[in-house]
Structure 1
Amino acid sequence: MSVSYGGQAVLEGVMMRGPSCWAVAVRTPEGGIEEVVRDVTSPMKRHRIWRLPVIRGVIALGESLAIGFRALAISANVAAREEDEEGKVVTEITRGQIIFSFAIAIGFALMLFKVGPALLTNWLPIEGTTWFVIVEGLIRVSVFIAYIGLIGLLPDLKRVFQYHGAEHKTINALEGGSELTPERVQKFSLIHPRCGTAFLLWVMVLGIFVFALVGRPVWYWLIVSRILLLPVIAGLAYELIRYAGKHQENRVLMTLLAPGLWLQRLTTREPTLDQVEVSIRAIEEVRRREAGETPSQTASDARVEVMA
């Protein structure tokens, strides 16, 4: 049985995840690479019910968000950290600041991509449930694409998108059986069918069909339905992306999923060899841990933390 790896771009780095652990590698302000390795304790390993279709998608989404937030926190601390002349850390982002930032980010995303489009459509003179959910879905997708396009203009986000490209190239190289060197990995595609960008797009598209079952309730139930049904839609989208990842040779399926693949052009940029090196370091640490080896410390300026 083949092992599927996933990842996420973070601030000046990449997080890579395997079945039982994840690792984040970050380029420090001094030019070195710091690595942090963590084990994954998934409830899907303990109870069969959590491995059922759709339900496993909800669990996987929750795990991905939790790991992603932790990886972002690690990268933010590395980027913001300053040391005095003796090498002691004098500035570091606190846990409270990180939690507050993530809470604001989640609330903003729900308002912008879920609640906002629903309320805006509700104010429009639209008759019938079918047209209502279609227009709502079109508004939601349009806002999503416009948002990605705008944030991609920010210099700091451009670098994150470059690391996103490095992550995709590394996984494509690994799945293609290539040697993981920056020069070889750089030749691979920026696009991958299991990308989170494609997942988010299909969450919005599948939402049209799910919300059609709800109809057009009053505005406050409209808001509640958009939030409470999100896990169900995410579970369905997970199954679709998971199936696509295992059947990349199916041309009909790839044609249907093409919009999600095209959208990745907005969230990935061609990385530099230095950025690809960081991505490779992250996946190598995951593979070592999966193989039961002690994470390496190949660079003198790299720090590896391992916690059970």
Structure 2
Amino acid sequence: TPAFLLAFAAWFRLSRVAGYHAAEHQTVHAIERNEPLEPERVAMMPRPHPRCGTNLMVLFSVFMTLSAWMKIDPFVAGVISLAAYRFLGPWVQQNITTRPASRKQIENGISAGRQILDRYQRGTSWSSRSGWKRVWNMGLLQVAIGYMAPAYALPLLAENVRFVQSLARFLQ
């Protein structure tokens, strides 16, 4: 529901995860542009990244909203979704799933970036990891679980807890 999406967006934006998410993107931008991995330089990089999983979540959300909720033909919904996600994905990243990173978060992102570069230079292949480990390390599964868990937990809790009953009615 729209209320649930707004609550999720507000929670994500206010969480520390959004700062770390921004720091990761900024570090990747710096690496791709051959910029030095220094906090001052990395902090100047943009927060949205074109290959972020948020873009896929936006694409999926727009498609599901149009096809399932608004009952638009799936083909038409797909065309609209593909056109919209190119603009909406970066907008959602800039305004919801990232926020300005603290120096500590940027330093953490730089550390992770250096580890990745080191593994790459040593020839440690990403494809040598098991399929499940690669999926887990992408983080999309964790985001999907975090997105869906409240939708399933609230109805279960609503049967027994009055506050949750009120919250569930509000979010519907």
User: What range describes the TM-score normalised by the shorter chain of this pair?
Assistant: 0.5 to 0.7
User: Equivalences for 1:174-193 in 2 at 5 Å?
Assistant: 174-193=31-50
The aligned counterpart of 1:198 is 55
Cα distance in 1 for partners of 2:62, 2:13 equals: 26
1:171 matches 2:28: yes
Displacement of 1:283 in angstroms is 1.4
Which runs of 5 or more residues in structure 2 are unaligned? 125-172
Contact between 2:10 and 2:96, CA under 8 Å: does it hold in 1?
A: no
Aligned residue in 2 for 1:267? 97
Q: Percent identity?
A: 32
Larger radius of gyration: 1
Please tell me whether residue 147 in structure 1 is matched to residue 4 in structure 2: no
Deviation at 1:191, TM superposition (A): 1.1
Deviations 1:252-289 (A, max 9, x none): x7x86111211111111111222111111111111111
Q: Scaled by the length of structure 2, what TM-score is found? A: 0.56
Q: Residue 161 in 1 paired to residue 18 in 2?
A: yes
- Aligned twin of 1:258: 87
* Partner secondary structure for residue 150 of structure 1: helix
1:288 aligns with 2:102: no
Secondary structure at the aligned position of 1:189 is classed as coil
Q: Distance in 2 between matches of 1:147 and 1:153?
A: 10
Shift of 1:146: 0.4
Give the 3 Å change call, closer, same or farther, for CA 262–183 of structure 1 in structure 2: same
Q: CA deviation at 1:209?
A: 4.8
Extract unaligned runs of 5+ from structure 1.
1-138, 214-232, 241-252, 295-308
Q: In structure 2, how many angstroms separate the alpha carbons of the residues matched to 1:177 and 1:144?
A: 40
Deviations 1:138-197 (A, max 9, x none): x4xx3564033331465xx2x111111111111111112211111110111111122222
- Tell me the TM-score normalized by structure 1: 0.33
Measure, in 2, the Cα distance between the counterparts of 1:268 and 1:148. 13
User: Does the aligned pair in 2 maintain the 1:161–1:269 contact within 8 Å?
Assistant: yes
Contact 2:27 / 2:37 at 8 angstroms: preserved in 1? yes
| RMSD over aligned Cα atoms | 3.1
Aligned residue pairs, count: 115
More strand by share: 1
Distance 1:257 1:144 in 2: 23
- Amino acid of the structure 2 residue aligned with 1:193: P
Query: Does the 8 Å CA contact 1:178/1:184 hold for their aligned counterparts?
Result: yes
